[in-house]
Amino acid sequence: MKLWEGRFAQATAADADAFNECLSFDRKLYAQDIRGSIAHATMLGECGILTKEESGVICEGLESILRDIESGALAVEGYEDIHSFVETTLVERIGDTGKKLHTARSRNDQVATDFRLYVMDSINRMGDALGNMIEVLLKKAKASLGHIMPGYTHLRKAQPINCAQYFNAYSEMFLRDLERLHDCKARTSVMPLGSGALAGTSYPIDREITRKLLGFERISQNSLDAVSDRDFVAEYIFCLSLISAHLSRLCEDTILYTSTEFGFWEMPDAYSTGSSIMPQKKNPDISELVRGKTGRVYGHLMAILTVIKGIPLAYNKDLQEDKEGLFDAEKTVLDCLTIYANMLDAIGLNFDRMAVAAEEDFTCATDVADYLAKKGLPFRTAHGVTGKLVRYCLDNDTTLDKVPMSVYKEMNALFDEDILRIVKAPHSANERNSVGGSSRTMAREGISSLEERLDALRSKRK
Ligand code: ARG
DSSP string, 420-434: HHHTSHHHHHHH--S
350 lines ligand 1 (CB under 6 A): no
Report the pLDDT value the prediction gives residue 3, as an integer from 0 to 100: 85
**pLDDT (0 to 100) of residue 462:** 60
Residues of the chain with pLDDT under 70: 462
Distance 81 CA to ligand 1 centre (A): 8
Catalytic residues: 154, 275
- φ and ψ of 350, to 5 deg: -95, 80
Are 207 and 191 contacting, i.e. CB atoms less than 8 angstroms apart?
yes
Number of residues that make up the chain: 462
Tell me, what amino acid is at 300? H
Q: Where are the alpha helices (DSSP H) in 106-162?
A: 107-144
Does ligand 1 have an atom closer than 6 angstroms to the CB of 107?
yes
Distance CA 347, CA 364 (A): 28
How far is residue 379 from each of residues 76, 160, 370, measured CA to CA in Å? Answer: 72, 20, 7
Residue 79 Cα to ligand 1 midpoint, Å, equals 13
Distance from Cα 45 to the centre of ligand 1, integer Å: 26
Closest C-alpha residue for ligand 1 atom 11: 317
Q: Which residue type, as a one-letter code, is found at position 146?
A: G
Distance 317 CA to ligand 1 centre (A): 6
Say what the pLDDT of residue 461 is.
76
* Pairing outcome for strands 148-153 and 156-162: antiparallel
Give me the domains of the chain, ranges plus CATH numbers. Answer: 5-103 (1.10.275.10), 108-203+225-357 (1.20.200.10), 365-423 (1.10.40.30)
Q: Establish whether residue 22 lines the binding site of ligand 1, counting it when its CB lies within 6 angstroms of any ligand atom.
A: yes
Q: Give SS3 for 158.
A: strand
pLDDT at 72: 98
DSSP secondary structure of 346-378: H-EE-HHHHHHHHHSTTTTHHHHHHHHHHTT--
Distance CA 111, CA 29 (A): 9
Closest approach atom of ligand 1 to CA 317: 12
Q: Distance (Å, rounded) from C-alpha 137 to C-alpha 168?
A: 7
Q: Which amino acid is at 11?
A: A
Mutate to test the pocket of ligand 1, among 19, 81, 224 (most ligand atoms within 8 A of CB): 81
Distance of CA 335 to the CA centre of its chain: 11
Atom of ligand 1 minimally distant from the CA of 197: 10
Ligand 1 near 84 CB (within 6 A): no
Q: For the residues of 374-413, what is the DSSP string, one character each?
A: HTT--HHHHHHHHHHHHHHHHHHT--TTTS-HHHHHHH-T
SS3 195: coil
